[in-house]
Amino acid sequence: MVTTRAPKKRAASPAIDDADGALPQKRPSRAKKAPPAPPASDENEDDDDELMQQQAPPKKRGRAPGKAKDSPVDDDDEDVPPKKPATKGKGKAKASDTKDEDEVTPETFKAVPKYERTKKAVADGQYAKVDNLVVPVDEACSLSSAGWRVYIDDNDGIIYDASLNQTNSSGNNNKFYKVQILTDGRNFRTWTRWGRVGATGQSAQLGDGSLGSAMKEFEKKFKDKAALTWANRGAAPKPGKYVFLEKDYQESEEDEEPEELAGPSTQKAGRSRSSSPVKSKLNPRVASLLELIFNQEHMDSVMADMNYDVKKMPLGKLSKATITRGYNQLKLLNDLFDDPSLATDLHGMNSVAEATEHLSNLYYSYIPHNFGRNRAPVISNHQRLKNEIILLESLTDLKDADSIIKAGNDTNSVHVLDSQFQSLGLQETTPIDRATDEFSHISDYLINSRGSTHGHEYKLIDVFRIERQGENDRFERSHSKRTASDRRLLWHGSRSTNYGGILSQGLRIAPPEAPVSGYMFGKGIYLADMASKSANYCNSYASGGHALLLLCEAELGDPMQELVDASYDAGNDALAKGLLSTWGQGAVGPALWKDASCVHPSLAGVQMPDTVTKPPGDTTVLDACLEYNEYICYNVDQVRLRYLLRVKM
């Protein structure tokens, strides 16, 4: 065995029960929030400097709207002094005495060809990639019911719809700004809406009805708020300015929740918005499983627990680029925790606290959160960082589940549950008869591998033998290259709402952008030989007390890298030694192993704990800082899903 032991002695404090750095499951009492501080302003944080024309139809082309007596002023950016009202007869007052060299003005706008205005765009998601794409008008605009739509340039496919966000923790700002060019085919208007996240805010329509005027107003507003030209919208955000949120426009637009205005979704899994005219052909146990996995209320509950603002950025609109940018900010925070000198050397800040808040603000701006009237908490330690990593991981799986739900709602020829099942792409989903030895052995493994530090009570509802399309071939090809094999049947737990992504895409390893310190033994697939340890990560309180657990066949390789304490570089260290996995050795574990062919013939040669003959107990591992064993695989090819258990906890 290749062994790497930490030099320190076993701590006197209780061993850590931690799969990957997260705290054991507890029903959140809702995270402690900072005392509410009165914001500098509420819905008027971002008041527009044009006439508010909410709920008013556009005027005829060529007639610019007049100024209202009490028109709100666009003074939300704290670093910009309020504008003075224009004196009648002397023209509109300038917002600033200086201009950036690339600022959009009526003269420069007309002089620059359309292609030149857009060729530097790097926000790939802002382009229409499908024919006849319809981007809906903001729900707060009365034009949404009058046949108007968001303008898409026919020449280059650019979608003129911009969502911007800005969070400033110390200033208790958490606000949005939305700007769209709207058209009915002949007339064009620029629509803006702004306010605190979670509120409807205020709005205005701008322009004289022509495309040129609407384009000018759109680009000017974007530049005012982001300090970037529209053509350069994908560039790094400017300090103290709004962050542009790139969207994914390829989802079904009609199914999206309206931003800021939507209440909790009431759609239930297993029922389309128009009642399905056909009956499901699924086994009732499989159908019930899908109703749990794709339960919209459970998804809403999970996102609310994590403070994610689904109204600001619906899952269907959340782009991979936006999630990646969120990971990047967390990685910068992690680097700052490890090397405080980066506050000055890299970020140009006067202190670590200032740099930490700056990076936290950027993260919250990319990944919208709803903290109500409370300040956004600064991500100032590794646990807060880990919580946000969990959020981004969940959003990846939830986005996959959301896509499957929408695909199921788009058809009337197949029952919605049957459509969702087909979208999972599973090669096998076999409900196991409770009277069989197969069910009995799995039940024994579940019930008898419960740690004494865990208070879980189980009721095994269902067991499904599963196989993902192509996963067995991939696993066998990987296994055939190994001369020394160590295959085991191990547990993995996750929220029920994550299983739409897990079953359709497989278990995934964190992307390169994720900070490695968020994972106790590096980035990998974390497995356990004690069911209760994996059950800690199911968060059954958010899904009506129901949990889903996986039994996975894992090729660990022989030998494994053995560690008794956390090492964020464990993955790189194992690969450098030519090893496939890490065994995080715990103080408690199985006392005896047996061949898993007793469960099913296809598991011959795979080891599983013999919890009936000899229950788990002390491992006698010296210096173990973990309470229970952890097994970490660093390549997805090493793991294949074998069974899915539905458990009432």
477-501: string of b/e by CB count within 10 Å (b at 16+)?
Answer: ebbeeeeeebbbbbbbbbbbbbbbb
**Tokens standing for 489?**
């049947």
Tell me how crowded residue 321 is: count the other CB atoms within 10 A of its CB. 18
pLDDT at 239: 87
> Highest mean pLDDT: which of 60-74, 249-263, 524-538?
524-538
For 426, half-sphere exposure in the C-beta direction (CA atoms, 13 angstrom radius) is 24
Query: What pLDDT, on the 0 to 100 scale, is given for residue 386?
Result: 94
Residue 234 is assigned to a structural domain of this protein: no
Which active-site residues does the annotation give?
630
Question: Does residue 68 carry a pLDDT above 70?
Answer: no
| pTM reported for the whole predicted model | 0.76
The reply to whether 573 falls in a domain is yes
Per-residue pLDDT, 274:
43
Does residue 62 carry a pLDDT above 60? no
Q: Within a domain: residue 247?
A: no
State the Cα–Cα distance between residues 110 and 32, nearest whole angstrom. Answer: 53
Asked, for residue 131, whether it belongs to a domain, the answer is: no
In one-letter notation, the amino acid at residue 621 is V
**pLDDT score at 460:** 98
Number of domains in the chain: 1
Indicate whether 419 pLDDT > 90. yes
How many other CB atoms sit within 10 Å of the CB of residue 169? 21
- 416 belongs to a structural domain: no
Q: What is the pLDDT of residue 134?
A: 87
- Distance (Å, whole) CA 366 – CA 148: 29
Arithmetic mean of pLDDT over the chain: 81
Bridging pattern class, strands 626-628 and 586-589: parallel
Structure tokens at 196: 């605190």
Cα 50 to Cα 66: distance, rounded to the nearest angstrom: 9
> Token digits for 353?
């606290």
**Residue with the larger pLDDT of the pair 81 and 73:** 73
Give a yes or no: residue 484 inside a domain.
yes
Lowest mean pLDDT among 39-53, 301-315, 544-558: 39-53
Which domain does 14 fall in, by range? 2-29+427-648
Residue 169 has pLDDT above 80, yes or no: yes
Please compute the mean of the pLDDT values over residues 420-447 and round it to a whole number.
Answer: 97
d(CA 498, CA 400): 9
Residue 619 · residue 589 · CB < 8 Å? yes
Distance CA 411, CA 441 (A): 40
Contacts of 325 (CB under 8 A, 6+ apart): 366
What's the pLDDT band for 490 if we cut at 50, 70, 90? Answer: very high
The CATH number that applies at residue 456 is 3.90.228.10
- Two structure tokens written together for 319: 């782009």
d(CA 411, CA 274): 10
Residue 614 lies in a domain: yes
For residues 138 and 178, the answer to whether their CB atoms sit within 8 Å is: yes
- Min mean pLDDT across 82-86, 485-489, 558-562 is at 82-86
pLDDT in the model for residue 123: 59
| Residue 377 counted as domain residue | no
Nearest by Cα to 534 from 110, 17, 37: 17
